Structure 1
Amino acid sequence: MSWRKDQRRAERGYHHGNLKEALLQAALDLIAQKGAAGFTFADAARMAGVSPAAPYRHFRDRDELLSSIAQRGFEQFEAALTAAWDDGRPDTITAFERVGKAYLAFAREEPAFYSAMFESGLPADADPALLAASERAFGVLRAAAERLAALAPPGVPRPPAMMMALHIWAMSHGIASLFARGDGARRKLPMSPEELLEAEVLIYLRGLGFQADRRAEAADAQEKPAGPWGKPK
């Protein structure tokens, strides 16, 4: 979420009647500057232009403020991944590659949200709304992995979709954290983060017994009746 400076000035402060949004934006600004662990509740209040006691009108403490930011981040993350997946159109492999690119793009374009989501140290199960939002976002990867697992060649054991989803999530997250963020490592790469992820996934799929190019099989599989999670019957 990007706000102009004049918008932030206009919406900060309880006297404008929008204290909650002002605090959320102030916290996002602080995360962008100092990281998810680099500011206090009082810092957020000061940046929002209110007294140290004012934030307690909306948030129990700093963790609840961070949790709200992380929840919003996961909601936007889910929307980005869902749009990229597009129910596997025009074929599973192409759509899956788009999901990977969307993952990296979100980390690059929304580093403050990404930090709150993954680097704040908040246990996801401490807040039911945050847990639900994170599970919905991961559910997009899980559904895509289900569709991908269904393309296993004849004679090759079908890998568990949850395992595939977790492995590919780990690859995407590692590349995003190391190379695809503005605050990440400055190591020069011989390829773009997107190309690096594509190569990693290709090597991973080959290791599971998939052929290098599965687009034709993906198109064939999608013509069959679909079962749960889009898996061909």
Structure 2
Amino acid sequence: MSPKSSITKNADYHHGNLRNALIEAGRNALKDVSAQDLSLRYLARMVGVSEAAPSRHFAGIDELLATIAASGYRDLAALRVAIRDSDDTALAKAYRMMRVYVEFAQRHNGLFGLMIGPRIVAHQAYPELTEESNRSFGLFSETIEALAIESGWAPADLKLVTHAAWSMEHGLATLLLANRAPRADTKVAIPKLIDFVLMTLLSAITAGPDHLQRVIQQCMLSEKPVVTRTARKRAKA
């Protein structure tokens, strides 16, 4: 396999220039090839340096891929910082936080696949990747928790609420990228689907814990349901 084009042939890289060029080359390559197809040799040819040159900055392809994934989370976090710092309501911020995740996945399919996929086995082995991933998720969770608190959820229930929202945005994004949603036998517009899914989840959060308790009681589940601490306290009152 040969790269479509070289970013900078025969460039005289100094200091961090080669490192940055390799990261950029990797991001560009992911638009056309999978992470499994990337190698240091492939990216060295894209940049126009010797096959040995990347080893000055990266111990191997796994370290380079982890750095590329970290750059993706850094970009996502920057988008989320702008949402956090806006004058929107808590509900609007929560909606935008979830939507920007789905839109990022749609715009950067290959990069997103590297960020969340199995190619990088041990995320915790790469501090930069862990830091940037945690920062992006922290911005998201703080926003969702702010909406949950405003809607009457107890502090003990906030992680449940956050994980529900995370599951919704991530599941939707991965289904869209895999062309599994919307189903081929249905006529559903993707933008409308995204809005409906996210707003349905947000409507459940804003309805509050009392509404969840009523739903649990009406479902009459055969197995013991997951009941939040807030719901238990209110049920005893």
For Structure 1 versus Structure 2, the TM-score category normalised by the shorter chain is 0.7 to 0.9
How far did 1:35 drift? 1.6
- 1:185 is aligned, of 179, 182, 197, to 179
**C-alpha separation in 1, matches of 2:145 and 2:169:** 17
* CA RMSD after TM alignment: 2.7
Residues 125, 131 of structure 1: 8 Å contact kept: yes
**C-alpha separation in 2, matches of 1:63 and 1:108:** 24
- Residue type matched to 1:113 in 2? L
- 1:100 is aligned, of 98, 101, 120, to 98
Equivalences for residues 1-233 of structure 1 within 5 A: 9-10=7-8, 12-17=9-14, 18-86=17-85, 89-119=87-117, 120-153=119-152, 160-179=157-176, 181=177, 184-185=178-179, 187=183, 190-193=188-191, 195-207=192-204, 210=207
**C-alpha separation in 1, matches of 2:33 and 2:7:** 20
Residues 159, 208 of structure 1: 8 Å contact kept: no
Q: Percent of aligned positions with the same letter in both sequences?
A: 28
**C-alpha separation in 2, matches of 1:203 and 1:159:** 23
Residue 37 of structure 2: SS of its match in structure 1? Answer: coil
Change over 3 Å in CA distance of 1:158–1:33 after alignment to 2: same
Change over 3 Å in CA distance of 1:159–1:171 after alignment to 2: farther
Residues 99, 198 of structure 2: 8 Å contact kept: no
Residues 70, 130 of structure 1: 8 Å contact kept: yes
Change over 3 Å in CA distance of 1:78–1:85 after alignment to 2: same
Change over 3 Å in CA distance of 1:160–1:13 after alignment to 2: farther
Select between 22-31 and 74-83 the one with higher mean Cα deviation: 22-31
**C-alpha separation in 2, matches of 1:63 and 1:197:** 33
Superposition TM-score, scaled by structure 1 size: 0.73
Residues 95, 199 of structure 2: 8 Å contact kept: no
Residues 171, 197 of structure 1: 8 Å contact kept: no
Change over 3 Å in CA distance of 1:86–1:209 after alignment to 2: closer
Task: Show the counterpart of 2:214.
Answer: none
Q: Give unpaired runs (5+ residues) of structure 1.
A: 212-233
Change over 3 Å in CA distance of 1:64–1:13 after alignment to 2: farther
**C-alpha separation in 2, matches of 1:36 and 1:171:** 25
Residue 207 of structure 2: SS of its match in structure 1? Answer: coil
Residue 190 of structure 1: SS of its match in structure 2? Answer: coil
**C-alpha separation in 2, matches of 1:129 and 1:69:** 10
Residue 143 of structure 1: SS of its match in structure 2? Answer: helix
Change over 3 Å in CA distance of 1:80–1:198 after alignment to 2: same
Superposition TM-score, scaled by structure 2 size: 0.72
**C-alpha separation in 2, matches of 1:92 and 1:28:** 33
- Residue type matched to 1:101 in 2? R
**C-alpha separation in 1, matches of 2:136 and 2:200:** 25
Residue 43 of structure 2: SS of its match in structure 1? Answer: helix
